Structure 1
């Protein structure tokens, strides 16, 4: 079992807590989608840099999809989670949640509500 360690972000140098707690709580990074392979990241990133890195990688993936290929995307096959991550699944605009394409791709189908970032149009 891991324990909490204080690490410095390999991108910005900010110190942050990393690891699972002795009580069994998982590291905060487990709330993010498992989209990186270990060879792509030198060391742990702070929450802000990790969100940015995930968002870039997700946006690059989403850009490869068309409305025809969106139904057969990789995101729908990832482990299901109830945790939404700001900057990954949604952003706030005038106090409202705006769901990004990644959120819709994880669901695996169009909800027919005319969402702004629906990849299934």
Structure 2
């Protein structure tokens, strides 16, 4: 099922449709960071990606090691059904590099020395 919608951010018309299961919109792959609003309705895929990244970047920028352990609300967001490039990870050559957001959303440190570890266990480089 598909509906025609207008992006509340850029104004383009886009198709809003349910995925294969018929119950959820494509936008449900993104973390639920925006409260439905009568003025700010749906966003097109590109605008939702950009707005989500902006909100996450602001959250991560204020994160400290102490906050990561004691006051990390990202871990309370329902788990992602699939990872999103540019939000949860980026590619470097053929390697996946997980973002600080991914680690915060996971809710714990694996102590593997991840590059973007918000818990203070980054690998030391020579």
TM-score (norm 1): 0.85
Partner of 2:66: 68
Q: Which runs of 5+ in 2 are unaligned?
A: 121-126
Equivalence map 1:1-121=2 (5 Å)? 3-20=1-18, 24-39=22-37, 42-71=40-69, 72-121=71-120
Name stretches of at least 5 consecutive residues in structure 1 with no aligned partner. none
If the length of structure 2 is used for normalisation, what is the TM-score?
0.82
Query: Partners in 1 of 2:29 and 2:81 — Cα distance?
Result: 9
Alignment RMSD, CA only?
2.2
What is the CA distance between 1:53 and its match in structure 2? 0.3
Query: 2: distance between equivalents of 1:63 and 1:21?
Result: 33
Q: What secondary structure is seen at the aligned counterpart in 1 of 2:58?
A: helix
Please give the alpha-carbon distance, in whole angstroms, between the structure 2 residues aligned to 1:39 and 1:85. Answer: 24
